[in-house]
Amino acid sequence: MSAGTDSLFEVLERLFAIRDECSCEILSECGLGDVTAKQIAYLKVIDGHGDVTFSRLAEITRNSKPTVSEMVDRFVRMECVYRQRSPEDGRVTYIRLTEKGRMLANADRNALYRLVERMMQTLDENEVDLLVEILSKVG
């Protein structure tokens, strides 16, 4: 690799490390330092689908209803979700995120916001504009 490539790699690696630190801070704030990536993915599914039922969550995640029920029970114990009966049909139960669950579901995005905040504290307005212009060329 060239010196420029090495430098870019090192800078990006440091930025990702800071983002990971921010993610760990968020998980720690929720009191769940040992939550798995798979659990966070399920919370994201619940967050993204609004009125999600056990059957629908099983369908989306390609799991059996007993597996989903066990997972939801675990999330309830972790205080990440709660069950809510449908006011229209008492046989239907929705899975809802608690504030903690919402925070975990959005941990990646929130960590990125924290990273951006750290960058904004160290860069002036022109540097931010330049960084945005450069990064816009990549993606």
pLDDT in tens, 69-124: 999 999 999 999 999 999 988 899 999 999 999 988 988 888 889 999 999 999 99
Sequence-distant (≥ 6) Cβ neighbours of residue 107 within 8 angstroms: 23, 26, 27, 40
The proportion of the chain whose per-residue pLDDT surpasses 70, expressed as a percent, equals 99
Fold of 36-105: Arc Repressor Mutant, subunit A (1.10.10)
Its sign, for the CA torsion 108, 114, 117, 122, is negative
